[in-house]
Amino acid sequence: MGMKKSVIAALFLVLILLPASSLMATSVYKVGGIFSSTGRASFLGDPEKKTMEMMVEKINAEGGIDGHMLEAVIYDSEGDPAKAVSAVNKLIHKDKVLAIVGPSTTPTTLAIVNFVERAQVPLISCAAGVKITTPVKPWVFKTAQSDLLAVAAVYQHMKNAGIKKIGILTVSNSFGESGKMQLLDQAQDFGIEVVQVESFGAKDTDTTTQLTKIKAASPDAIVCWGTNPGPAVVAKNVKQLKIDIPLYQSHGVASPKFIELAGDAAEGIILPTGKILVTELLDDKDSQKKILEGYQTDYSAKFNSNVSGFGGYAFDAVNMLANALKGSNGDKNKIRLALENTRNHVGATGEFNFSDKDHNGLSPEAFVMVEIKNGTWKLID
């Protein structure tokens, strides 16, 4: 009888432990995603969401991470900070994710930073704002290039071209204001003097007044900082006023749409862009070229549409997160440390070198300067 009891007890133990241990072996790593996949910023969030889904599928098809399948829980913030906050709370408390990718925009990211810091969940944002990672917050990383780097790339090009005096024309929204701040802050470092500062409304139909004022200050070049369609109006107005000094634009218009909008007026415009836009023009020795081509092939095969730089931010975030998850055994602090120690990671956006002082990890080389020639992009040094 005693033996029978112990056999039953042993069987019980096995029954209890078996599912648990078999669960352990196949337990999934849950990661969260918050993207503005609909709404005004859907041009950012939609490719990011698709990219994350594609990457997770790919990682799982290759056997997951240390035998763990990945599961992505993705919420739509609609570009609304309040919705991003409710999404982050769901991810942290209900879904209990190991890390979060996104959100897509600077305001939605800044809204949730405190929540992930308090809950100690690693966050890799896909937004560009400098404020996200300066000052450095232990649990917050980002993959998008800051406008700080874009301005540095533009100024470096100007310095090489011998441009000393510039007039700047920025759109009066958060993108333009942030660009204006960087343009004014960094000018001195490159020996450049800003002789005229003007702004225009995002929906203005004409900017000739501002350009006339800039022209009167006789600068060597004009920098326009905005997102479509305003900069295309500026480009047209510059041609109409016959202002024949170089016109620089921001990475905010680095898309074929800008060339389509500005038409002939786009000729000769110089702007910084992520390498994804000019993949086929890159030198074969460029370490990013293969990665960009791979991403492009996978993405267009799956979604039948072209890649954008924005999807690239999610591509890098998921890749670095997957690397950090390896050997972490699901420990969030280990994931955080692994992210912080990521060095020489060549991604779609650039080469990442994170450290405890830099949670963006990119250098101005993440941008290349291009000139618009014959309705297409041409790489310049």
Partner 1 sequence: MQEIIQYLFSGITTGAIYAVIAVGLSMLYSSTELINFAHGEFVMIGAMSMVTFWVHMALPLPVAIGCTLALGCALGLLFERFAIRTARNPQPIVLVIITVGASIFLRGTGMIVWGKDPFSVPPFSNHESLEIFGAALLPQSIWIVAAALLLAGGIHFFLKRTLTGKAMVASAVNQKAAWLSGIPPERMAVLAFAISTGCGAVAGIFIAPVTMSSYDMGTILGLKGFCAAMIGGLGSLWGAFAGGILLGVLESLGAGLISSGLKDAIAFILLLLILYVRPGGLFSAKEAKRF
Which residues make up the interface to partner 1 (CB under 8 A)? 40, 42-43, 172, 198-201, 203, 205-206, 208-210, 212-213, 216, 228-229, 232-233, 240-242, 257, 260-263
Give the nearer residue to partner 1 in terms of CB position, either 52 or 261: 261
Q: How far apart are CA 311 and CA 47, in angstroms?
A: 5
CB of 242 to partner 1, least distance (A): 7
Angle made by CA atoms 155, 159, 165, in degrees to the nearest 5: 80
Would you give the DSSP letter of residue 69?
Answer: P
Is the bond preceding residue 47 a cis peptide, omega within 30 degrees? Answer: no
Give the nearer residue to partner 1 in terms of CB position, either 200 or 225: 200
CB of 38 to partner 1, least distance (A): 11
**Token duo for residue 145:** 């290039």
CB of 213 to partner 1, least distance (A): 6
Is the bond preceding residue 229 a cis peptide, omega within 30 degrees? Answer: yes
CB of 287 to partner 1, least distance (A): 33
Give the nearer residue to partner 1 in terms of CB position, either 4 or 203: 203
Give the nearer residue to partner 1 in terms of CB position, either 13 or 216: 216
The bridge status of strand 367-373 relative to strand 270-274 is antiparallel
CB of 264 to partner 1, least distance (A): 10
Give the nearer residue to partner 1 in terms of CB position, either 260 or 365: 260
CB of 182 to partner 1, least distance (A): 18
Give Rg (Cα) of the chain. 24
Give the nearer residue to partner 1 in terms of CB position, either 185 or 260: 260
Q: How far apart are CA 310 and CA 50, in angstroms?
A: 11
Instruction: Return the H-helix or E-strand segment holding 170.
Output: strand 165-171
CB of 260 to partner 1, least distance (A): 7
CB of 256 to partner 1, least distance (A): 11
Give the nearer residue to partner 1 in terms of CB position, either 97 or 183: 183
Question: What burial class does residue 82 get, using C-beta atoms within 10 Å of its C-beta: 0-12 exposed, 13-18 middle, 19+ buried?
Answer: exposed
Amino acid at 361: G
Q: How far apart are CA 319 and CA 312, in angstroms?
A: 10
Instruction: Return the H-helix or E-strand segment holding 140.
Output: strand 140-142
* CB contact at 8 A, 206 and 169: no
H, E, C per residue of 268-302: CCEEEEEHHHHHHHCCCCCHHHHHHHHHHHHHHHH
- The phi and psi torsions of 145 (rounded to 5 degrees) equal -70, 140
Give the nearer residue to partner 1 in terms of CB position, either 189 or 206: 206
CB of 349 to partner 1, least distance (A): 24
Give the nearer residue to partner 1 in terms of CB position, either 236 or 275: 236
CA-wise closest residue to 60 among 15, 96, 29? 29
Amino acid at 253: V
